Amino acid sequence: MAKVQVLNVAVLDNPSPFGNPFQFEITFECMEDLPEDLEWKIIYVGSAESEEYDQILDSVLVGPVPAGRHMFVFQADAPNTGLIPESDAVGVTVVLITCTYRGQEFIRIGYYVNNEYTDPELRENPPLKPDYSQLQRNILASNPRVTRFHINWEGCAERMEDSENVDPAPNAMLPPSCPAGKAPSLGLMPDNSMDCL
């Protein structure tokens, strides 16, 4: 049984210019006093092609966490544009919020992020080199993808090796506005993708 339940994540300052810091207001509930801090991270996926371009925007410790309902705002700087492949700057990518306890990730919250030019001119003819100052970041806040992992809350990671093999819920999701024709067969659809149909 997970000791920490994430109840809500509100995406603040959204949409916003590309260079603005990310702000997530996270509300979670904790079943019992946690002796250790929680560690939260924001990861920006620079390119769909490879994890190599993932950037950890920041990580914070959150604690002390007594039993109860808590909230905090996690703010992290915008990604380092120098590390984003130019071809991936504009378009849809993903930002992830993860939380670990005693070194084990137990929840992963993903959002699609759409980066686009606000200027219609630029949108029609995007410059070869992305102009980040003109880009707007829009996080699809209504559509968080939450994956929960089963971890050992009492001990540390070593003891939970077997849990690595526990498959999370099948979460093969669709992009938020996929054309109906391209939807995968129904059998593959997880229940929590109903809103895409």
Pair of tokens at residue 159? 């003891």
Pairs from 50-53 (Cβ < 8 Å, separation ≥ 24): 53/83, 53/84, 53/85, 53/88
State the minimum distance, in angstroms, from the CB of residue 72 to other proteins: 4
Residue among 22, 108, 135, 137 that touches other proteins (CB under 8 A): 108
- The secondary structure element, H or E, covering residue 121 is helix 120-124
25 binds other proteins (CB under 8 A): yes
Binding mask 38-77 for other proteins (x = CB under 8 A): -x-x-x-x-xxx-x--xxx-xxxxxxxxxxxxxxxxxx-x
Measured CA to CA, the distance from residue 112 to residue 179 in angstroms comes to 16
Give the residue among 191, 189, 109 at the shortest CA–CA distance from 148: 109
159 binds other proteins (CB under 8 A): no
State the minimum distance, in angstroms, from the CB of residue 188 to other proteins: 12
4 binds other proteins (CB under 8 A): no
Measured CA to CA, the distance from residue 101 to residue 107 in angstroms comes to 10
Binding mask 136-155 for other proteins (x = CB under 8 A): --xxxxxxxxxxxxx-----
105 binds other proteins (CB under 8 A): yes
* Number of other CB atoms surrounding residue 83 within 10 Å: 13
98 binds other proteins (CB under 8 A): yes
Residue among 17, 114, 122, 183 that touches other proteins (CB under 8 A): 114
Q: Are 4 and 106 in contact (CB under 8 A)?
A: yes
22 binds other proteins (CB under 8 A): no
% helix, strand, coil for the chain, step of 5:
20, 40, 40
35 binds other proteins (CB under 8 A): yes
State the minimum distance, in angstroms, from the CB of residue 121 to other proteins: 14
Could you tell me the end-to-end alpha-carbon distance of the chain, in angstroms, rounded to an integer?
32
State the minimum distance, in angstroms, from the CB of residue 125 to other proteins: 14
119 binds other proteins (CB under 8 A): no
Residue among 122, 157, 183, 189 that touches other proteins (CB under 8 A): 157
State the minimum distance, in angstroms, from the CB of residue 70 to other proteins: 4
